[in-house]
Amino acid sequence: MTELSETDARLLRAAFQVAIRAREEGNLPFGCVLVDDAGNVVIEQGNLGLVPVRDATAHAETVAAGRAARRYEPSELEHFTLYVSAEPCAMCAGAVYWAGIGRVVFGLTERDLKGLTGNHPDNPTMDLPCREVFACGQRSVEVLGPELVDEALRVFDGYWN
């Protein structure tokens, strides 16, 4: 199993900061950064599910994957990494897969997120690991996580209480 490198830790923390900004802007506290094969952040995306319009499909990862798919070729994206504040849900994992992004690094697991959200109507979390979603596909997506869990928990601290 791959260990979290210093670069991975720095970029995962950048995703946490994007999530904090999304929260400050009135959205759910989720964020991600997409990094190219040279280590450059090419997309930062927070959740858009509440502001500017109510759209339950406007998760940070889904929006970022769509932006990436329009901007880059699949042959490029297979070498990119998406750093995410929390594990991609089934919908987001599907978007990452279909966009062709080759690697995901996340903070909090879906299971732990579900424990935080409970049955909150703004985030009816599924307990379906992204690894299981990716395993059903025909190409591999490398997954590293959960990582920096204590820091990830701080992003969500008190949000659903």
How far is the C-alpha of 32 from the C-alpha of 39, rounded, in Å? 15
- Alpha-carbon Rg for the chain, nearest whole angstrom, is 14
Q: Is the peptide bond before 146 cis (omega within 30 degrees of 0)?
A: yes
Per residue of the chain (161 residues), give pLDDT as tens: 578 999 999 999 999 999 999 999 999 999 999 999 999 999 999 999 777 778 888 999 999 999 999 999 999 999 999 999 999 999 999 999 999 999 999 999 999 998 888 777 666 778 899 999 999 999 999 999 999 999 999 999 999 87
Which DSSP category does 145 fall into?
A: -
Q: Is 61 a catalytic residue?
A: yes
pLDDT of residue 70: 98
Q: Which of 3, 6, 25, 61 is catalytic?
A: 61
How far is the C-alpha of 75 from the C-alpha of 58, rounded, in Å? 25
